[in-house]
Amino acid sequence: MGAKLTADMKRVVVEQRLAFVATVCPDGTPNLSPKGTISVWDDNHLVFADIRSPGTITNLRKNPAVEINVVDPFARKGYRFKGTGEVIVDGELFQQIMNFYRGRWVDAVRSKSEARIRGFVLVKVESALPLTSPAYDHTSVDEQSIRKHWISYFAALNEGSSDYRRRESFPFFNFPLESRRNGMVDTVVEALILDLLEWVTKRERDRTYEEVM
């Protein structure tokens, strides 16, 4: 029967629209590929389109084992789905899935792009487990504070602002990953440091303005 997808699992998959799909290459090495067409097929299956996935499809034909990770980048939460993938390239089920996508958000099945779809992968979910950032290990941290921090971070990154450049050059953010995991630098500390840097920068800018005037 496999694992049953909960309402929250379905919500995260549908909202995020992006998954990272891991398959096994013939030589035993992993293959990881982002899929922007991930969706929920039913209570036990996920599905994504084969538009430009030669490695993923080749691997699944030889070894159907697959793991899919879907994570909310702002909440730093998500799910990992393990199961088996079936490659579907024609027949009644192919048409059913194509119709399923036509009524949804996926651009890949709209107008001229529809011809780009070479098939679908239907994944039977055998196990589904939550993914949560170690930042939640700190009792003082909640989802709202983490969302606020990462929304601000990505907004600055998207705008190419000086806040991002200062962040990358600030020594605290160059600590080894293990140090971060041990709590030497956590999300709250980073947010406080960024706030301090912003305040100092604003003060220096105001002082310069006063001197020029």
Q: What is the pLDDT of residues 144-156, one digit of tens each?
A: 999 999 999 888 8
pLDDT band at 19 (very low <50, low <70, confident <90, very high): very high
- Report the chain's mean pLDDT, rounded to a whole number: 81
Contact yes or no for 120/97 (Cβ under 8 A): yes
Could you tell me which of 190, 187, 150, 154 has the C-alpha nearest to residue 170?
190
pTM value? 0.71
Separation CA 155–CA 145 (nearest Å): 15
* Tally of residues, the chain: 213
Domain spans, the chain = 7-132, 134-212
Contact yes or no for 84/42 (Cβ under 8 A): no
Q: If you classify domain 7-132 with CATH, what class do you get?
A: mainly beta
Could you tell me which of 74, 57, 75 has the C-alpha nearest to residue 66?
57
Q: Which of 19-33, 105-119, 146-160 has the lowest mean pLDDT?
A: 105-119
